[in-house]
Amino acid sequence: MKLSTDDQKETVVKLNIVERALVNNPVRAWAQRHFEAPRLMALGGPCPDAVALEIGGGQGEGAQIIRERFGAARVISLDLDLAMVQRARRRLAGLEDILCLQGDCTALPLADGSVDALFDFGVVHHVPNWRSALDELDRVARPGARLYAMEVYRSLICHPVWKRVLTHPQQDRFDQDEFIDAWRQRGWQLLKERRLGQGLGWLAMQKGRP
């Protein structure tokens, strides 16, 4: 997950102690591998030989899943938190087809049209200016690229109980329909989607060809 360095210009809300514990434990890794990834695979299929980008890569579990389960040839795991990037590099040492980078999802350090697959394991909802993140993801995606996303939505983020426990932006949040529509406005087509109530969902989309 990404962290900001300037509260006045933050691009991603900082994780609190509860969220750090949630994303850096074996239960989270198990859920990502056995609950989230299978649903995304069922919606979007594999991405063999792809150059894949995961935003908010954290300790690197997602990058391993993308490489092993989805068949990507190269995975770029990007996180703004340098400590998490260093942790991922230690965990994935020796895997030359996984590159762990420090970077901001609203200003990606990647060339236009350089990525075949985008992975969002519940990261975009942390971004206050989430549309800027979508603009950047769209910029680096090649025509025909696929998006695999699991997201958390407004009804859960803004719930009176959860907003006391977890630190998320509260303004301009989105639901799954709005998230899909934002991608469609950028020329992406919905392949399949799945929802768990109003607060959680999975989807796969594909970028239209020129």
Q: What is the mean pLDDT of residues 113-126?
A: 96
pLDDT of 170 higher than 60: yes
CATH number where 80 lies? 3.40.50.150
Mean of all residue pLDDT scores within the chain: 87
176: closest CA among 160, 155, 206?
A: 155
pLDDT tens digit string along 14-59?
Answer: 454 445 555 667 888 888 999 999 999 999 999 999 999 999 999 9
pLDDT at 159: 62
Say if residues 115 and 87 touch (Cβ distance below 8 Å): no
**How far is 94 from 75, CA to CA, in rounded Å?**
14
The Cα–Cα gap between 125 and 27 comes to: 21
Q: Is residue 2 part of a domain?
A: no
With a cut of 60, say whether residue 117 has pLDDT above it: yes
pLDDT band for 165, please (50, 70, 90 cuts).
Answer: low
Is position 28 within any domain? yes
pLDDT (0 to 100) of residue 164: 62
Residue 12 placed within a domain: no
178-182, Cβ contacts within 8 angstroms, sequence gap of 24 or more: 179/124, 179/149, 179/151, 179/153, 179/203, 180/205, 182/131, 182/134
Please give the average per-residue pLDDT across 176-185, as a whole number.
Answer: 98
**Which residues are 194's β-sheet partners?**
202
Domain span at residue 168 reads 17-207
This prediction has a pTM of 0.86
Tell whether 21 is covered by a domain.
yes
Question: Is 10 contained in some domain?
Answer: no
The per-residue pLDDT for 169 is 67
The answer to the question of residue 5 being in a domain is no
76 pLDDT exceeds 80? Answer: yes
129-160: pLDDT as tens digits: 999 999 999 999 999 999 999 999 988 786 66
Confirm whether 11 is domain-assigned.
Answer: no
CA neighbours closer than 13 Å in the CB half-sphere of residue 38: 5
DSSP string for 42-92: HHH---TT-EEEEES-TTSHHHHHHHHTS--SEEEEEES-HHHHHHHHHHT
Phi-psi map region of 113: left, alpha, beta (phi>0 left; psi -120 to 50 alpha)? left
pLDDT band for 172, please (50, 70, 90 cuts).
confident
The answer to whether residue 147 sits within a structural domain is yes
Please tell me the total count of domains within the chain: 1
pLDDT tops 70 at residue 208: yes
